[in-house]
Chains A and B, each alone.
Chain A
Amino acid sequence: MNAIIANRDVLLQGLGVTLALTVCVLVVATLLASLLAAGMMARSKSLRLPARILVEAMRDIPLFVTVMMIYFVAPTIGIALDPFGATVAGLGAWGGANGAIIIRAGILAVPKGQIDASAALGLHRLQILRLVVLPQALRPILPPYLGLATQLVQATSIGALIGVRELLKTAQIVIERATIMDGGLSPFTLYGVVLIVYFIICFALSLASSRLETTLGRHERLAVEKRRLPALKLLARS
């Protein structure tokens, strides 16, 4: 435990890199997810097909292989990517594909009649999307999207294998250094601590996700109860 306290600055730096990775990945993934979702729902088949293939391939190839592939292949086709960039690109692509599925499902959950009604009222396609569809689609999108975010936080640890100095990599370095310098530090303890740190971050996100699900779902449940059985609402309140 002493060795961990002695190395806390290095480890905190690693945690900082993990968080920076997460933020970058989330931004890239969200942009890509919106594009891919739009592509998958486009009218023209020449847009739909490539979007579908990309999403399916990203979801079926192991994420670990995707990140490795981007790291190794990018330089051979003339793109210079450092380990950080390669991790962001790989996780961003994977997160984008999975995010696209979530966004698409959310948009499809909005009753089609509303879109027809908006069109009948003379709203433009973009207006329908912005004013009618998106505000309602956010409800089914947000909880699973937070779930995806937890998975992305966890996946940033893949960066350690290609040399990003994030939390897992710094833990590795600290263990190696301790074994050479002073008698050693139990990998059991340090990896245990790393597990707990990840758990705290991801558990908080998971908790937020399920909270959000209940809060956002409440509105709909009440509407259903009001329609069906007013007595149920009274029961639910008491």
Chain B
Amino acid sequence: MSDAFDWTYLIETMPALLRGLQMTLLVSVLAIAISLLIGAAGAALRLSGRPLLEWPARAYVSFIRNTPLLVQLFFIYYGLPAIGLRLSAFWSGVLCLAVWGGSYHLESFRAGYLSVSAGTKEAANALALKAWQYALLIALPIALRTALPSMLNTSIAMLKNSAYLQAIGLAEMTFVAIDRISLEFRTIELFAAICVLYLVLVLSLSAAAGRLEQHLQRPFLAR
């Protein structure tokens, strides 16, 4: 093993790392999609105004946010089979990330919905819109604009957190890198590579999110 930074090695391992990246993206995209559903459903419960429905949503958010993701992951992957629910590493990872992200999306949805002004509601009432029409056609589009920035942040955080899935042996990017290190000891090259890949991914996604926010912030007339 030479001391210098080995570029040829880096180029040789790149395909393997990119396959890992594919897995990272696949897990994250699936988890983000499910977490949005959890968030929306949870927010509906939380905003229902009935304590019996509201309370579980509150407890869910509080519990997920106040426990480590890694322990949640171990609980799902190693703990659930003990009560007969056996999930593969892949689906354990998706479930764990989705449940984690859902607790943040829930609050974003809620905050967005609450930010819709009372006047809008009164106007909808005056136009004789039904409650579901108001919620779906009026409040939701406005709420989504407010909620979008924090929802994008959560989604990017979920992508970063997919690195935790290395711990249960899912072959995502961090797993591939650490696996290679234990075989070939090219620590500096491999960590430099995955750090750059994560940075490029996260920074470009943040930039795209910023553009989207700007676009949505423009008044309707200007479009």
- The chain A residues found within 8 Å of chain B, CB to CB, are 57, 60-65, 68-69, 72-73, 76, 150, 154-158, 160-161, 168, 172, 175, 186-192, 194-195, 198-199, 202-203, 206
Contact = CB atoms under 8 A, between A and B. Distances in A.
B75 A191 contact: yes
A191 B79 CA distance: 7
**Which one of B79, B81, B202 has the greatest number of beta carbons of chain A within 10 Å?**
B79
30 contacts: A57-B195, A60-B198, A60-B199, A60-B202, A60-B203, A60-B206, A61-B195, A64-B164, A65-B163, A65-B195, A68-B174, A72-B191, A76-B187, A154-B68, A155-B68, A161-B166, A168-B68, A168-B71, A168-B74, A187-B74, A187-B81, A188-B80, A188-B82, A191-B74, A191-B79, A195-B71, A198-B67, A199-B67, A206-B62, A206-B66
Instruction: State the 8 A-B residue pairs at the shortest beta-carbon distance, nearest first.
Output: A202-B66, A154-B68, A62-B163, A188-B82, A188-B79, A62-B160, A191-B75, A157-B68
B199 A72 contact: no
B71 A73 contact: no
Contact of B70 (A158, A189, A203, A206): A158
Contacts of B164: 62, 64
Given A150-B66, A202-B66, A203-B66, A64 B71 contact: no
Contacts of B80: 188
Interface string B159-189: 0111110110000001000100100000110
B57 to A, nearest CB: 16
Interface of A is mostly: helix
Nearest to B78: A187
B49 to A, nearest CB: 22
B142 interface: no
Contacts of B194: 65
B75 A195 contact: yes
Given A64-B174, A199-B63, A206-B65, A157 B70 contact: yes
A172 B67 CA distance: 17
Contacts of B206: 60
B187 A198 contact: no
Interface in B194-222: 194-195, 198-199, 202-203, 206
Contacts of B71: 157, 168, 191, 194-195, 198
B198 to A, nearest CB: 5
A62 B191 CA distance: 12
Given A76-B187, A198-B71, A69 B195 contact: yes
Contact of A72 (B75, B79, B181): B181
Given A60-B203, A61-B195, A64-B163, A192 B79 contact: yes
Nearest to A75: B187
> Most B CB atoms within 10 A — which of A60, A160, A175, A190?
A60
